[in-house]
Structure 1
Amino acid sequence: MRTKIQSNYMRQRHKLRCFFDETKNIHIKCETKTNKKGEINLRTFNMEGLKDLWEDYSSAIKSTKIDFKKAKIYQAKEIKTGGLEMLVTSVSTGKQETIFEQLPDKMCYIINKSECFYEIDGIRYIPSREVNSRTLNDYSRKNIVDDCMNKGKTKEPPITVNHFSSPDTLKTLAGRLRRTDELIGIHYKLVRARKKVYARLVGLKSMNGENQISAVEIAGCLYNKCGRSMLFESAYLEQIKRQPALSFTFRCKPARLRSDGIPVCILFQDTLSGRKSMRVDFAVKIDNRLYILDSMEVNHRTKMSGDEIADNIIKRFEVCYTADLNLNITANDIIKNVLQKGLVPKKAEERFVTYMSSINTDTPIAMASDVIKTGIFNIKNKKHTSSGYDGGKRRYELELGRALIR
């Protein structure tokens, strides 16, 4: 159950009004505000307000011990009138049977789109695409020795359950899951449908008692080291009204500008849904566009303290704060750099060159940033094992920011 945003925050500037829905979960009731470009507006918070947002985010995602040795694998086969035909494979015994189960139309659609689910201890875990095709394989595959090719250790081939997976493939997966250790499943709230309990499984992690550090903890250390004058920006309240937030993103706004008047900010992206490290970006804001000059990743299970990480962040921030920026970079230089390093998809290179060559402006770097919004990195009709796959957009952004530093 999600916890209520603390009362001290509710008395602040936004005066948010909370209400209970039918499942007794707290939501924030307010209008989703966007700017003229259709982008979600950021809201400004103090340190206490940021902590409240993190508490709300972390309480929306549940952690449950999962033992896949007890699982039954349900493979969606075909939607029929009133329900769904599925092939059920028992992990413990390997036995299989085809069943027809009556389900609500919406649940039929969700399961059919996910192509499978795992029933463990009475809860049906519907995996995200990343869990189904990547994360579960990371934990269930073991090393094998390929003596014939003499390549040493390799991994067993991955298995992704889909509509067309053969019964033998599911038996192979069941065999792998039988040797899998207990894991921590990361999922959203439980939902009941026809006396069955479902949960959206968005991540897995090992049963490890090590303490994990969060981006908000590190931000708190930065806040203390910077004279407790730092403010923060986040679009979290707007995002959760559209869909549950998979990640928690916010900006630190240091209380000083560069000597040229350009603001510098630190961007954090953190998540509780899996094994990804938190991301820390150092960016400058020019003409309402962010350019990432530097970036670092912090492992959640790092042995460094929050103060030590904050010190490293401050050092890298100072480099960006004093860096000599090349704002006069030409369109030809940008095109040459992008094509040489293969920063845009091959199919989009011609479109990129045409776009940049048609520029009639004194700031081609701004147009190179705006080209991202044209959808140049959107690759249609292609599935990827990671929901975080962006077609190269992230790499392009990093290289574009680095091109600004002389």
Structure 2
Amino acid sequence: MLTRYPLVTIVIAQLFGTSLWFSVNGVGLALQEAVGLSGRDLGLLTIAVQAGFISGTLFIATTGLADRVRASHLFALSAVLGALINAAFITVADNVTLAAVARFATGLCLAGIYPLGMKLVVSWTPSHAGAALGWLVGMLTLGIASPHLLRGLTLSLPWQWPLLLASLLALVAALMIYKLGVGPHLPAKASGGRPWAGLAAFKHKDFRAAALGYFGHCWELYALWALVPFLVTRELERLGASSSAQPWLSFAIIAVGLPGCVLAGRWSRRVGSARVAFVALATSGALCLIYPLIGAAPPLLLIALMLVWGLSVIADSAQFSALASATAPAERLGAALAMMNAIGFGLTIPSIALVTSLWDTQGLGVIWWLLPGPVLGLIAMRGLNRRPARA
């Protein structure tokens, strides 16, 4: 099963492994009640994961681990360590400093899961990278949404249960990828190499355009995901509905990105990854502009718009990765993707900090802080959009 259907194996493992990413956000409301964390504290924990991921991707890119170590082994080791650290978070949740350290360490481990998952996909299915990476990023989206689902399923249980379930899923992911191994279309290891070799890919105009578009996408994406529980809670309060619906709606708004990624991948095979990425980024950017202006609209309408936003905001991610994969040096693909991820995720930290710290004072107005990302990303990739892309 594993070697017969490698793409299925990789995307399911990606789903399970990335459930660690927002595992704490999924129980955020319960943590606020149980240990007294504030909204600002939850923002800090989210930023800690991002900082850990950035540090990890920089480390594996600059040391060459992304290309020297067998991708399946690095993925499996990262997933096991991430599972253990995520479970250990339970013991330090009441201490914000130690909790942030634990989340930073979890982010370090995720650096061995997400970029290496992209490399594994390319190693097995290089001829359809846009469509295949669409599935991979879709599963990343579902993985990030899964803590909200796990919390919805365990509302009657202590908040620790969703975290333990996420750790269990990560252990299963490690076993799946370890048994699968690396595909035949990339070398299992790269010899030698200079630190910062991944930066060499930025010499290529198309890679640079795709990366800049990706950076604009990153500025918006994770900050929006961090805002989703706040936005959903606002509309439920306006409806007078029970707060128990919050994790389910939050899950749906983030998870709808899965079909968005898959449909974008299929579309990319007809019109090219660049055009698909441009349309998706333009759609989410338009919602950044419009949403605060119509904040007094009926709650059900705003929830529907959130679903459209959740679908479009991630649909371009895989296409940016496919464009980058097609133009980066093959022998340094892992380093190039890891470096691109590191820079892109570096931009998520200020955007998350802005929206989570200003939510109490600016409300829906914080969404306008996300708008520069899509705008600048669209400007950067205008030339790329006019050329056919390899998907």
TM over 0.5: no
Q: TM-score, normalised by structure 2?
A: 0.26
The one of the two structures with greater contact order (alpha-carbon pairs below 8 A, sep at least 6) is 2
TM-score, normalising length from structure 1? 0.25
Name the one with the larger helix percent: 2
Higher strand fraction: Structure 1 or Structure 2? 1
